[in-house]
Amino acid sequence: MTTAISQEVTYLEAISQALDEEMSRDERVFLLGEDIGPYGGAFRVTEGFQKKFGDWRVLDTPLAESGFVGAAIGAAMMGMRPVVEMQFADFISCAFDQITEVAAKNHYRWGAAVPMVIRAPYGGGIHGGPFHSVCPEAWFFHTPGLKLVAPSTPYDAKGLLKAAIRDNNPVIYFEHKFLYRRAKEVLPEEDYIVPIGKADVKRTGRDISLITYGAMVPLALEAAEILEKEAIDLEVVDLRTLLPLDQEAILESVRKTSKVIVLHEATKTGGIGAEISALISEYCFDHLDGPILRIAAPDTPVPYSPPLEEFFLPKVDDVLRAARQLATY
Amino acid sequence: MTTAISQEVTYLEAISQALDEEMSRDERVFLLGEDIGPYGGAFRVTEGFQKKFGDWRVLDTPLAESGFVGAAIGAAMMGMRPVVEMQFADFISCAFDQITEVAAKNHYRWGAAVPMVIRAPYGGGIHGGPFHSVCPEAWFFHTPGLKLVAPSTPYDAKGLLKAAIRDNNPVIYFEHKFLYRRAKEVLPEEDYIVPIGKADVKRTGRDISLITYGAMVPLALEAAEILEKEAIDLEVVDLRTLLPLDQEAILESVRKTSKVIVLHEATKTGGIGAEISALISEYCFDHLDGPILRIAAPDTPVPYSPPLEEFFLPKVDDVLRAARQLATY
Amino acid sequence: MSMDIERRESPEDRRQPFSKVSKADYLQLYYYLFLTRTLEDRVTALYRQGRIVGGVYTSHGMEAISVGYAYALEAGDVIAPMHRDMGAFLIRGMKPKEILAQYLGKRTGPTKGKDANVHMGDLKRGIFAFVSHLADNLPLATGAALAFKIRGQSQVVVANTGDGGTSRGDFHEALNFAAVRKLPVVFFCCNNQYAYSTPLELQMGTPDVVDRAKAYGIPSEIIDGNDVAVVYVTAQRVIKHAREGHGPSFIECKTMRMHGHAEHDSAKYVPKELLEEWKRKDPILKVEHALKTMGYADESVLMEIQERVKKEIDTAVEFAEESPLPEGPETLEGVYAETLEEVHV
Amino acid sequence: MSMDIERRESPEDRRQPFSKVSKADYLQLYYYLFLTRTLEDRVTALYRQGRIVGGVYTSHGMEAISVGYAYALEAGDVIAPMHRDMGAFLIRGMKPKEILAQYLGKRTGPTKGKDANVHMGDLKRGIFAFVSHLADNLPLATGAALAFKIRGQSQVVVANTGDGGTSRGDFHEALNFAAVRKLPVVFFCCNNQYAYSTPLELQMGTPDVVDRAKAYGIPSEIIDGNDVAVVYVTAQRVIKHAREGHGPSFIECKTMRMHGHAEHDSAKYVPKELLEEWKRKDPILKVEHALKTMGYADESVLMEIQERVKKEIDTAVEFAEESPLPEGPETLEGVYAETLEEVHV
Ligand SMILES: Cc1ncc(C[n+]2csc(CCOP(=O)(O)OP(=O)(O)O)c2C)c(N)n1
Ligand SMILES: Cc1ncc(C[n+]2csc(CCOP(=O)(O)OP(=O)(O)O)c2C)c(N)n1
Ligand SMILES: [Mg+2]
Ligand SMILES: [Mg+2]
């Protein structure tokens, strides 16, 4: 897949590369958001972009999420392919109406496609507190017409962003802040995409299906290593796309293992894990050999202080405990 | 419970009564929203209120949902008990940020309570099309700090609204437009509340638990009548409160029947039904004698044209089919 | 609220607008005004007969605004309309039969029964569909204008809003963005003095909506929204301004909502005298008077146009009534745009 | 952008503000300015030592604004602050030790470790906690003012926003509502010429933020935000105006953000000359100069205050460092307010 001399690329660099390559490939692609121009974005994803692509393809906007998401929708309808940066995913709440009412329903209502991507840097583990840590994906999961993706590796980050930009629908791209500089790998030289709607088995296993996404994937793999020593063989399914869900991949894994853990960083009640669980018990009930366990954050805002946030976030131990429980079921 | 001479009260009148009685009882209660003053609201829930309670307790606001929800939050923090009317629940998307970021997190963050009610006239069946029919409850279901209620009868409508007004937390009160003039019953003379957080078994049954809420409750009861003739005994659990869910009531019913249908009008993926299903298979797996079936609208916006909307909405037939399937499982 | 159209300097074209409108254009404007009125009256009649299931919002008495601005646009331009812009739909090429099919929820309507009444859109005709959530269309208009600007095209966007819609945050965010980036977009506002039942003084702290535009440094004017020549000539001027790269304008059209908010609403909250005053300023009366005064048309010419319109609408109603309803399973179509199809120019 | 403070008529109190401030008040203002500066400098130092985990946003060089407006308020009044209002927290009674505990995520901070840095609130002291989502606090301010109005109380609310925050829809919706209902609320805006890295000209199409207020018919002024006497005396006047039932005002304070957006940001995008120009206008230098000129204080009096402040902060840091962190399970506390407890006056 890659040559030995290639360098490792971080998750964040993978995102930059995808943007850069797509902007070079397709002049309809342009970026807008807060402080993405000369500053290069709060996380420096678009550093140097304005110099390279010009002021009108990398636009610093006023501080107005609804306004600039709406502008992206309008531009998308005119045949552009805007990529919006939320400074933090938390602020997407300010653009909620434009996303759910306008972007999501537009094609259904009158056939006008909205090929737009919203990049949403999300997630905790960086001591951001209640307003800079949120995992808001479930807010949009109940809105037909949207696509949601949430990569866990640099490879997927790059390939999914390219696929999102080429998609003719509004896609929210959840990029996990915790992974930005922590996840690294060597990427292919050549152009590739990761198709939207396809999950990926990150670790094959026989005993238990662990279904997850985002920053929980490395955590799940870590747990799997430990459980291997206990002869519990975890299969780790990385959803990658949250909407539309890859139902077949989920069910296929469950049919094999008969036991399921669903894991996400977002709070439990009403999280995407609920849907996964419901799908399984609806379509795979006869294969189940135990309860479908969910591991998720407790139902609170994300607290700031380190001991609180540590308590809040799902941990390797939680996976171990659940897996051991299921193994003896 | 009531005397024979009492008159039947519609669901809509029950809401009016609750508002009227709470405003008379507690001068901190006041109303704000669009066209609720001299006009009495788009659905005439507050007809005559401004005359009775004065201009400053029944405020017509500018057309600005975020602004007036935010104002309600500020007033609530100062010890008032605002009741906000959304003209249609659909427009709550415009106030999403204030609800989820400010109202929901406020007490957790710094201990300031936000005793506020948002009345959200929701639901389809009135040919309102994509922007006047939505069932948006799941949008708020994943937000700790909110309470969500959704009555199905005039009795519950009145009692839950009173409880919501007396609650010290932000409560979204989902009132179903389809029930406004269709649901009728005689109400008690005396003051009562329906406690938030308590489900209600609207029909006791042995064979299958049907868990639902809102306008789907009468539909479920209708289906139960038909199924009775086929010797299928449906238990109809009306959740009434969606957040926090009455987990115990759900599990208790399932432990008895061992079979479950979850029914809601909202679209399926990411709906509240997913959480109910997940809870059951997490905590009640060993009692289950069949898959947990969900009946919900398909994953599309709400279409306008009558044949489309009819296709879209869950029907008695859907319940019959699911119940028969489970009965023979 | 008293109207004070003359408070600001009015350019020449506003004092004698008709002198700038050719006879052919004037007659065409009359045709569209009359077409709009007749079409909407027919929709109202159908509503009263219970043949339209959803709500009906008309531009009755306000037709000159959307007719005037739309007539000033060119083929590649785009409109982001509000809910009382029937004239603009017609001028942009939406056929009465399609519109009536839309109201009847037929498959032959532009949304194939998916959406209701004025929620029609068609990119090929440069029409963004109206979004119920008021002011949501305004950021979209800035985005379309931005696309033109990025691509170096000379097209222009016209967005329209009611007075009520200007209180929403999206109005603010859109106008600000348009101003900062000097986008080729013109904002019209139909100030019909009410938002549903709410009179202007409970909506804003200034007498004129145009005061809002000052916050953004956007040039603005108040005009008589009931005079189609005034609207048309003003629109021409500010659209040219935008087309030539000088950025957005804001035009407040003073007018009056002559029906209820929707056809179910008797609008008892509107003082009778106000309605009577505005009835005398009816845009169709105005244009008929002007046409006669200018010698552009006599009664028989007008009658001829009226007859033509009535026939057109009769045929359109027939088409709509005979059109098939969509079938249930069509509900499931169109949630997503095809991934591989290149849908845009 | 050139500052043009004198462009508008300036009332007497702005031309000779110091003549309206008593010696005792002036010294007290100095104390608070110095306390704010010292506290924030200490937080910055702790940040550089890696002892603060989240971000740090300071009001360095802008302290006169929050000190000035907060000093003009009375006990029952309420503030809805922005993220550079440390002076206001202190004047409203938040103790340095509590504030430092907050920064260190300690249980003794006002949010018990639940929220970070400037997100402190305390209803008993009339402080609404800042909400990160900029401008979200402005509608809240109108709501508090509405509560006062409904109850016939004479209290006033002061809300503050950055220049950047004024682009958001919630700004628009809040100011409009305040204007329509003539609510007792005063809006301050710290125009420090940048929103993060974005200069004013990419945020708005007018030179002054104050132009925004015209859209609502709210009386507005531009003042020198670096002169605490100007801010204080202006605040006194407009707060009185609001208290007496004459409705909202909008005050734009011209100032400059002298640090990066947060302490991680080197702010290379700000021209050096601009910073140098504004360094000469430092609010602490200004007040020291004024105090000496007026004969209110000599160097030794100032030194005494400075020493007092430094000790106060040292003790506060000690308290904060020694305070316990919250324990994991406290995460689960406080999502809901108790249902039966009556939490309000
Ligand atoms: C965000 C939002 N809130 C509420 C409504 C309900 N609503 C529909 S039209 C209307 C009044 C609109 O007033 P205006 O903008 O002046 O337009 P007009 O109907 O007077 O032409 C209201 C409140 C809506 N469509 N959108
Ligand atoms: C709604 C929202 N969008 C984005 C941000 C991220 N952000 C935090 S502060 C800031 C700039 C604020 O500028 P301004 O209001 O002028 O205040 P200043 O920091 O300059 O004092 C931005 C973009 C935010 N906090 N809220
Ligand atoms: Mg209006
Ligand atoms: Mg600023």
**Which CATH number goes with the domain that contains D151?**
3.40.50.970
Domain boundaries, chain A: 9-185, 200-327
CA geometry: angle B19, B22, B23, nearest 5 deg? 80
| Whether A127 is catalytic | no
Residue pLDDT, tens place only, D130-158? 999 999 999 999 999 999 999 999 999 99
Query: Is residue D77 domain-resident?
Result: yes
Residue B68 has a pLDDT of 98
Selecting from D169, D172, D218 the residue whose C-beta is nearest the C-beta of C205 gives D218
Helix (H) or strand (E) run with residue A219 in it: helix A216-229
Q: Flag whether pLDDT at C121 surpasses 70.
A: yes
Contact list in A for residue D134 (CB cut-off 8 A) is: 63
Residue C242 CB less than 6 A away from ligand 1: no
What is the domain range of residue C31? 17-92+124-294
Selecting from B281, B300, B301 the residue whose C-beta is nearest the C-beta of A277 gives B281
Query: Is residue D10 domain-resident?
Result: no
Nearest chain C Cα to A66, which residue?
A: C170
How far apart are the C-alpha atoms of A173 and A31, rounded to whole Å?
A: 14
Read off the tokens for A180: 């930005």
Residue C192 CB less than 6 A away from ligand 1: yes
Neighbours of B213 (CB within 10 A): 31
Residue C339 has a pLDDT of 58
pLDDT band, residue D70 (cuts 50/70/90) = very high
Print pLDDT tens along chain B (329 aa).
444 567 999 999 999 999 999 999 999 999 999 999 999 999 999 999 999 999 999 999 999 999 999 999 999 999 999 999 999 999 999 999 999 999 999 999 999 999 999 999 999 999 999 999 999 999 999 999 999 999 999 999 999 999 999 999 999 999 999 999 999 999 999 999 999 999 999 999 999 999 999 999 999 999 999 999 999 999 999 999 999 999 999 999 999 999 999 999 999 999 999 999 999 999 999 999 999 999 999 999 999 999 999 999 999 999 999 999 999 98
Q: Which fold has domain A200-327?
A: Rossmann fold (3.40.50)
Q: Flag whether pLDDT at D6 surpasses 90.
A: no
Residue C68 CB less than 6 A away from ligand 1: no
Query: Is residue D311 domain-resident?
Result: no
Q: For residue B81, what are the β-bridge partners?
A: B29
Nearest chain B Cα to C205, which residue?
A: B62
Query: Is residue D221 domain-resident?
Result: yes
Contact list in B for residue C203 (CB cut-off 8 A) is: 62-63
Measured in degrees and rounded to the nearest 5, phi and psi for residue B267 equal: -65, 160
Query: Is residue C330 domain-resident?
Result: no
Residue C53 has a pLDDT of 81
Count of B-C CB contacts under 8 Å = 116
pLDDT band, residue C106 (cuts 50/70/90) = very high
Residue C54 has a pLDDT of 87
Q: Flag whether pLDDT at C31 surpasses 50.
A: yes
Query: Is residue C289 domain-resident?
Result: yes
Closest-CA distance, D213 to chain C, in angstroms, reads 7
Question: Is B169 part of the contact surface with chain D (CB cutoff 8 Å)?
Answer: yes
Q: Flag whether pLDDT at D282 surpasses 60.
A: yes
Selecting from C132, C202, C332 the residue whose C-beta is nearest the C-beta of B300 gives C332
Q: For chain D, which residues lie within 8 Å of any Cβ of chain A, measuring from their own Cβ?
A: 53-55, 105-107, 111, 113-116, 119, 131-134, 164-165, 167-169, 195-198, 202-204, 269, 325-332, 335
Mean pLDDT of the C47-52 span: 94
How far apart are the C-alpha atoms of A220 and A238, rounded to whole Å?
A: 10
Instruction: For C190-244, give the DSSP string.
Output: EE-SEETTEEGGGT-SSS-TTHHHHTTT--EEEEETT-HHHHHHHHHHHHHHHHT
pLDDT band, residue D15 (cuts 50/70/90) = low
| Share of residues in chain A with pLDDT > 90 (%) | 98
pLDDT band, residue C8 (cuts 50/70/90) = very low
Distance A90 CA to ligand 2 centre (A): 13
Contact criterion met (CB < 8 Å) for A307 and D326? yes
Query: Is residue D9 domain-resident?
Result: no
Residue B175 has a pLDDT of 98
Relative to beta strand C249-254, strand B117-122 is unpaired
Residue D284 has a pLDDT of 98
Superfamily of domain covering A9-185: Thiamin diphosphate (ThDP)-binding fold, Pyr/PP domains (3.40.50.970)
Q: Flag whether pLDDT at D3 surpasses 70.
A: no
Residue C4 has a pLDDT of 38
Number of structural domains (chain C) is 1
Q: Flag whether pLDDT at D20 surpasses 90.
A: no
Exposure class string for A164-195: b at 16+ Cβ within 10 A, else e: bbbbbbbbbbbbbbbbbeebbbbbeeeeebbe
**Lateral strand order in the sheet of D78-80:** D78-80, D157-162, D185-191, D249-254, D220-224
Give 3-state DSSP helix, strand, coil % of chain D, rounded to 5: 50, 10, 45
CA geometry: angle C323, C328, C334, nearest 5 deg? 90
Contact criterion met (CB < 8 Å) for A63 and D327? no
Phi-psi region of B269 (alpha: psi -120 to 50; beta: other; left: phi over 0): beta
Mutate to test the interface with D, among B53, B96, B97, B109 (most CBs of D within 10 A): B109
Relative to beta strand A260-267, strand A293-297 is parallel
pLDDT band, residue C343 (cuts 50/70/90) = very low
Contact criterion met (CB < 8 Å) for D132 and A132? yes
Beta strands in chain D, from DSSP E residues, in sequence order: 78-80, 157-162, 185-191, 194-195, 198-199, 220-224, 249-254
The residue among A158, A192, A174 whose CA lies nearest residue A11 is: A158
Closest ligand to C-alpha of residue C136 is 1
How far apart are the C-alpha atoms of C212 and C308, rounded to whole Å?
A: 42
Q: At what angle do helices D137-150 and B65-77 cross, to 10 degrees?
A: 60
Place of tokens 């063989």: A233
Mean pLDDT of the D89-100 span: 98
Contact criterion met (CB < 8 Å) for D217 and C211? yes
Contact list in A for residue B285 (CB cut-off 8 A) is: 288, 290-292
Query: Is residue C316 domain-resident?
Result: no
Q: At what angle do helices B154-166 and B11-25 cross, to 10 degrees?
A: 30
Residue D54 has a pLDDT of 87
Q: Are D68 and D148 in contact (CB under 8 A)?
A: no
Contact list in B for residue A101 (CB cut-off 8 A) is: 90, 93, 131
Residue pLDDT, tens place only, C50-98? 999 889 999 999 999 999 999 999 999 999 999 999 999 999 999 999 9
Point out the residues of chain A with pLDDT beneath 50: 1-3
Higher pLDDT pick, D54 / A303: A303
